[in-house]
Structure formats: structure tokens, C-alpha cells
Amino acid sequence: MKKINQYDIGIIFSIVGIIASIAVIILKLMSKDNVTVGIVLFIACVLSLLVNIKQKKENKSE
């Protein structure tokens, strides 16, 4: 069985954050509110995902 390390957990939480931010954007669009918070959350989660993937690849090469 494969062990889950901190990089895998970071990737999982980033993906959950992306899904949640998309839900926030959709809910804000439906209520005709400002979607800035959802967009900022989405960008932050995508950047976090990219960093986690990069760190996981660097950790594997060592």
C-alpha cells in the first residue's frame, strides 16, 4: 500500500479548494453578487496546486 505524504495531502486540499471556489463563483453569479472573492480563492488554490505538484516532483527526484 502506498503511503500518503504531505505533498499528496496538499494536492488533495488544493483540488477541494478549487471545487469550492467554483461553487462560490456559481453561487455569487446566481445571486448577482460580486464574484471577486471566488476568483481570488480560485487563483490561490490553482497556484497552491502547482506548487504542491512541483514540490512532489522535486522530492521524487532526490
Nearest Cα residue to 41 out of 59, 62, 57, 25:
25
Indicate the SS3 state at residue 29.
Answer: helix
Q: What is the pLDDT of residue 61?
A: 64
15, 2 Cβ separation under 8 angstroms: no
Q: What is the pLDDT of residue 35?
A: 87
**pTM value surpassing 0.75:** yes
Q: Over 80: is that where the pLDDT of 62 sits?
A: no
Q: What is the pLDDT of residue 46?
A: 95
* pLDDT tens digits for range 12-43: 999 999 999 999 999 999 998 888 999 999 99
